[in-house]
Structure 1
């Protein structure tokens, strides 16, 4: 059997708030609470297990989600409708804009715990460089 990523533990100030926030943006549903975790399972089966920890214990991470063009439109509408600030770049220098990396679309936003979230419609490196003819 080859190795597959199964789950990640995502530290949050409030596991329910963070899980529900991301589930809403991505159009997913959180799973039932089990132990200290609120799970959110992605389409490829990887689960993000949100766990409440003291704020000073949170080490900020970056999570990127590959979604379809239609899902991007829906997620962007939910982001804008909820008043969430988004950026075209990870350094947060281009607020209210999206990027067109690799011929797709992408954006960055922060979750309630401060983690950097990204949605993109094309994986990095998937768009061939144009020929120099």
Structure 2
């Protein structure tokens, strides 16, 4: 077996100006829970064993990153409904030119939205096809 078959992402730090606000925002949109503080980190556990560890950076601006989430088809509409209920604009494209629309890439559905610190969040029901 190759290393690629064994190595998995376990966690990543997500920089935020307010870790509680940002973690609760994403967890609420995705229908997840915020975990207990772990040192300086506030975790949001994903279904595949990966944890987003929110880390507060107050002394410098947060640089925008991109995070993509594979969402089961039967949960996608619920995520869109929570975005709408929260007044968060979502887009069919990463350039944010198609507001209030979803895309149909790779035979699934997807959308992009920004979190409170400007991180580009993506939800999709099918992973990208790789050559």
Q: TM-score, normalised by structure 2?
A: 0.91
How much has 1:78 moved relative to structure 2?
0.3
Q: Structure 2 CA distance, aligned partners of 1:60 and 1:8?
A: 14
Q: Structure 2 CA distance, aligned partners of 1:38 and 1:78?
A: 22
Encode CA deviations 1:46-83: one digit per residue, 9 max, x unaligned: 00000110363422100000011111011001001111
Match of 1:50 among 54, 73, 76: 54
Cα root mean square deviation, aligned: 1.4
Q: Is 1:111 aligned to 2:115, yes or no? A: yes
The aligned residue for residue 15 of structure 1 is 19
Q: Structure 2 CA distance, aligned partners of 1:111 and 1:55?
A: 19
Aligned residue pairs, count: 126
Q: TM-score, normalised by structure 1?
A: 0.90
Report if the CA contact (8 A) 1:109-1:117 is conserved: yes
Q: Secondary structure at the match of 1:40?
A: strand
The aligned residue for residue 40 of structure 1 is 44
Report if the CA contact (8 A) 1:104-1:122 is conserved: yes
The aligned residue for residue 125 of structure 2 is 121
Match of 1:68 among 72, 76, 81: 72
Q: Structure 2 CA distance, aligned partners of 1:119 and 1:55?
A: 30
Q: Is 1:4 aligned to 2:8, yes or no? A: yes
Q: Structure 1 CA distance, aligned partners of 2:72 and 2:49?
A: 17
Moved over 6 A (4+): none
Report if the CA contact (8 A) 1:12-1:55 is conserved: no
